[in-house]
């Protein structure tokens, strides 16, 4: 890898769809440094199976996509942001195709499928169930062909450096322990989600909420952290990771069965298996809780569907399930909900600008309010694409302040074994008290425990310690926001406040270092 420069024009932290699209746009205005803590190919984007939603089919309209997005968001969607998403989406998709992205086709026509809460078949996919991987491949190839874009892998961004309220640099930690600071005109955080704050998650190990934690420590406003989407169907087999079983399976006709092998979704929602994700996830949890059967799982039933079609449509899912002893074409597939997508994040405007000058965020680490309380299936990749492009346009106007930077970091030897144990205990506690179903007493107990852990982990040196520190910060933000929202809405369900309360909570939570409030 080339040496890391001490300064550049623009820094992009993260190599997923939002970061790569932003880097490509920024290259027109100067030098771009893309920083990733693993290989550039390792991000949530690479694991996105179902597809990317866009109103491009003959029977679809942008207004229908907008309405579906609003309906799924349970009253909290920022309509202006959602309109940007659906209106600019088609152009961004055509751009991807022009750059070599190979979406699945029937003859010369793009193939569209349907997923939960969509009123039309508008989901593009690639290689069956490897859509994110294919989009990432095309964007990486495009970015690597541009001389102004430099990549540095295996560099962990630990903190943002400020001059008063302006972000002017980032602090980094190399795999060999070397520390350095890189200055830039503007910084984009496209660090993805934070699924690793939960014991059960579909997210890869890199999803530790680093960007959100860094921004919060630097003083940025954070919004809607109580809204963590739990995907209803993750593979639940002993010894297997919580591998995502795409909603597209239910779009193809898969049914959900409870532990007694009975279909149950018609009792919960008129859209049955294609109901919004929060509804399906809670239904599964409730059906499991009502049963005395073990193991504590529900089942996805595809046995009535054409086996050859399933193997061709979902090759990655089929092969992975077979690896763990399950044939999706012939057996019931054991599933449970798992943490999947964070609707909240760094509060930004429609140009991806945060509350700190010089700091931008896009993709899952950002919160424009575009998803409201519950993201519509397959809108996540589109969000990264659209707002990554918008971030680039806004960042081009940033010019260097040429001032000194300061990074407030506590450095020292941490007990990494204790740090790892702390992270493990945090994940289990978050799943128990801040998971699919929550209540006040459990949240308050969890918040006190997190704050105790935060006081213990004051010195960090290794990447794993920083990740634990970031997970604690994210957990703190989620729990404080969940306590403040004394209602149930979208992905946030309080057993002690089971109803939606528009009179008091038809607004977004905002957390800063000083307070938690709604606006």
Please give the Cα distance from 233 to 508 (Å, whole number): 28
In degrees rounded to 5, what are phi and psi of residue 360?
-125, 160
From the candidates 277, 336, 390, 480, which is the catalytic residue?
277
Q: What is the 3-state secondary structure (H, E, C) of 308-322?
A: HHHHHHCHHHHHHHH
Secondary structure (3-state) at 335: strand
Secondary structure (3-state) at 456: helix
Please give the Cα distance from 346 to 481 (Å, whole number): 14
Surface-to-core class of residue 137, CB atoms within 10 Å of its CB (0-12 exposed, 13-18 middle, 19+ buried)? middle
CA torsion angle for 508, 193, 157, 47 (degrees, to 10)? -160
Among residues 36, 30, 33, which one has the least CA distance to residue 14?
A: 36
**340 touches 230 (CB < 8 A):** yes
Chain-centre distance of CA 137, in angstroms? 19
Please give the Cα distance from 228 to 212 (Å, whole number): 14
Beta bridge partners, 406, equal: 162
Secondary structure (3-state) at 188: strand
Please give the Cα distance from 121 to 128 (Å, whole number): 15
For the question of residue 277 being annotated catalytic, the response is yes
**85 touches 378 (CB < 8 A):** no
Residues annotated as part of the active site: 277
């Amino acid at each position: 890898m080339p040496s890391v420069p001490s300064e550049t024009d623009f820094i992009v932290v993260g190599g997923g769809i939002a970061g790569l699209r932003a880097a490509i746009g920024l290259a027109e205005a100067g030098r771009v440094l893309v920083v990733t803590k693993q290989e550039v190919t390792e991000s949530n984007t690479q694991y996105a199976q179902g597809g990317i939603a866009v109103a491009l089919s003959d029977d679809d309209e942008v207004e229908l996509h907008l309405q579906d997005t609003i309906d799924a968001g349970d009253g909290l969607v920022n309509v202006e942001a959602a309109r940007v998403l659906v209106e600019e989406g088609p152009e961004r998709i055509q751009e991807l195709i022009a750059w070599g992205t190979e979406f699945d086709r029937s003859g010369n026509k793009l193939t569209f499928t349907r997923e939960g809460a969509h009123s039309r078949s508008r989901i593009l996919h690639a290689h069956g169930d490897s859509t994110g991987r294919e989009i990432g491949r095309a964007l990486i190839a495009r970015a690597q062909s541009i001389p102004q874009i430099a990549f540095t892998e295996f560099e962990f961004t630990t903190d943002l450096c400020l001059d008063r309220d302006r972000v002017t640099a980032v602090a980094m930690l190399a795999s060999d322990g070397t520390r350095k600071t890189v200055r830039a005109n503007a910084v984009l955080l496209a660090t993805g989600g934070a699924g690793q704050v939960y014991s059960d998650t579909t997210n890869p190990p890199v999803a530790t909420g680093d960007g959100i934690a860094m921004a919060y420590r630097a003083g940025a406003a954070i919004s809607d952290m109580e809204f963590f989407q739990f995907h209803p169907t993750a593979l639940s087999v002993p010894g297997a990771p919580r591998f995502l079983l795409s909603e597209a399976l239910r779009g193809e006709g898969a049914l959900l069965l409870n532990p007694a092998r009975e279909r149950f979704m018609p009792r919960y929602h008129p859209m049955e298996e294609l109901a919004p994700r929060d509804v399906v996830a809670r239904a599964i949890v409730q059906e499991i809780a009502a049963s005395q059967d073990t193991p504590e799982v529900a089942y996805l039933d595809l046995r009535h569907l054409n086996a050859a079609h399933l193997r061709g449509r979902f090759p990655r899912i089929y092969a992975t399930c077979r690896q763990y002893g399950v044939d999706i074409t012939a057996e019931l597939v054991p599933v449970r909900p798992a943490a999947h997508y964070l609707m909240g994040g760094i509060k930004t405007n429609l140009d991806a600008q945060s509350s700190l000058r010089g700091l931008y965020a896009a993709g899952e680490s950002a919160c424009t309010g575009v998803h409201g309380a519950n993201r519509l299936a397959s809108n996540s990749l589109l969000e990264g694409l659209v707002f990554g492009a918008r971030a680039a346009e806004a960042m081009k106007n940033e010019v260097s302040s040429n001032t000194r930077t300061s990074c407030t970091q506590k450095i020292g030897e941490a007990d990494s074994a204790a740090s790892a144990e702390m992270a493990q205990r945090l994940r289990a506690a978050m799943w128990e008290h801040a998971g699919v179903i929550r209540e006040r007493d459990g949240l308050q107990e969890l918040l006190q425990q997190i704050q105790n852990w935060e006081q213990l982990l004051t010195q960090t040196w290794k990447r794993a310690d920083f990740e634990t520190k970031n997970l604690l910060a994210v957990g703190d933000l989620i729990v404080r926001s969940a306590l403040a929202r004394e209602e149930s809405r979208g992905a946030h369900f309080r057993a002690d406040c089971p109803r939606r309360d528009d009179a008091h909570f038809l607004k977004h939570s905002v957390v800063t270092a000083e307070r938690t409030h709604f606006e």
